[in-house]
Amino acid sequence: MQSSTATIQNTFAEDVIRGLSATPKFFSSKYFYDDEGSRLFQEIMKLPEYYLTKAEYEIFSTQTQKIYSIFVPDNAPFDLIELGSGDGTKTSLLVNFFLKHKAEFTYVPIDISGEALELLTEKFAAQFPNLSIQTEQGDYFRTLETFKTESNKRKIILFLGSNIGNFSQTQAQNFFNELRALMNADDVLFIGFDLQKNPRTILSAYDDAQGVTAAFNLNLLTRINREFGADFDPENFSHYASYHPIEGAARSFLISKKEQTVFIDALNKKFEFAMWEPIFMEISQKYNLSMIDNLAQASGFRVEKNLFDDKKFYTNSIWKPV
C-alpha cells in the first residue's frame, strides 16, 4: 500500500497535469501552503490591506462573552473542534475565556499538516497548562465521523479565517451538506465569512502594494519546480487580481508575459503558454447575508446569529442544525 505522503504527492501531480491541460488553465489554491507559502500567508495576514484577519480578531476579542453564551447555554461539557487550525491566535482568545469560566471542554484541532499541529500544541500547552487538547491529523470528515460515534458530547465546530471563501459556491454547498451529515441536533457550527463591501477595499486586499500576494501566488510555480523538476521561470509570469462585484468573487491569476513552453521533468510533459495567457489560481468568495442564509438553509442549518466587526467587513456566523 502507498504511504499517505505518496498519495498526496500523486494527487498533486495529477492536479497539476489536469490544471495545465485545461482551457483556461488553473491550479488549486490548496497547494499554496508549502513552508514558504505558509510563511507568505502569515505575512499577508499582517498587511495593512488584508483586513480579514483583523476583523475576525476584533469579533473574537470584543464578543467573547456572547460567543460563550451561545456555545454553552447549559454548561454541558463539549468538544471544541477546529477545522484547519492554523496558528491558533484567534482561537486562543476563546480558549482563554472558556478556561477562566471553568468550561468543561476538549480542544480538538484538525489539520492535514502534522507540523502545524505540533507547533500549535506546543504553543497552547505553554499558554494553557490546564487545557485538554487532542490533535487530529488528516481529513476533516474522516475525523468527524469517528467523533459522531465515539463522543456523546456536544460538538462546536470552528471553520474560521474565511477559508470557506476559497471554495466555489457549489463546493461550499457540498462541504456544508457533508458536515451536516456528521453533526447531531445539539451541535454548533461557527464559520468566518468575508462580506461584500467596497470593491476597491476587497481588490486591494488581494493586490497589496508590497507584492506579498503576488509572491504567494508565484510561489506555487517555485513549488512545482522543486517537487516535480519543472522549469517555470516566475519572472515570466505576473500576478493579476480581480473582483467581480455582482458575483462577489475575488479571483487571482498568473499571466504568462510571453509565449513560452514549460517542461515538467517528473511528469515528462510540456505545456505551451500563449502570450498573456492566464492561469486561474484562486477564488476568494465574498458573501452577503442572504447568501449566508440560503447556504445554511440549503444544507440543513439555520443561522442562529451573525456577529460583526465594527465596520461590518466580516461576520462570524453561528449555525445550528434544523
Give contact residues for ligand AVI (rule: CB under 6 A): 44, 52, 161-163, 165-166, 206, 213, 216, 282, 284
- Nearest approach in angstroms of CB 185 to ligand AVI is 30
- Nearest approach in angstroms of CB 285 to ligand AVI is 8
- In this structure, what DSSP letter does residue 32 have? G
The residue (of 42 and 134) whose beta carbon lies closer to ligand AVI is 42
The residue (of 99 and 283) whose beta carbon lies closer to ligand AVI is 283
Going by C-alpha positions, the residue among 50, 64, 248 that lies closest to residue 164 is 248
- Nearest approach in angstroms of CB 40 to ligand AVI is 9
The residue (of 213 and 317) whose beta carbon lies closer to ligand AVI is 213
The answer for residues whose C-beta is within 8 angstroms of residue 91's C-beta and 6 or more apart is 80, 82, 85, 107, 109, 158, 160
- Nearest approach in angstroms of CB 138 to ligand AVI is 19
- Nearest approach in angstroms of CB 209 to ligand AVI is 14
The residue (of 96 and 173) whose beta carbon lies closer to ligand AVI is 173
The residue (of 252 and 256) whose beta carbon lies closer to ligand AVI is 252
The answer for residues whose C-beta is within 8 angstroms of residue 113's C-beta and 6 or more apart is 33, 38, 137
What stretches of the chain adopt beta strand conformation (E)? 25-26, 78-83, 105-111, 132-133, 136-137, 154-159, 188-194, 237-244, 249-256, 260-264, 269-273, 278-285, 301-308, 314-321
Q: 108: which strand partners?
A: 81
CB-based closest residue to ligand AVI: 284
Question: How far apart (Å, rounded) are the C-alpha atoms in residues 11 and 75?
Answer: 44
- Nearest approach in angstroms of CB 164 to ligand AVI is 8
What stretches of 167-209 adopt beta strand conformation (E)? 188-194
The residue (of 51 and 105) whose beta carbon lies closer to ligand AVI is 51
What amino acid occupies position 11? T
What amino acid occupies position 55? A
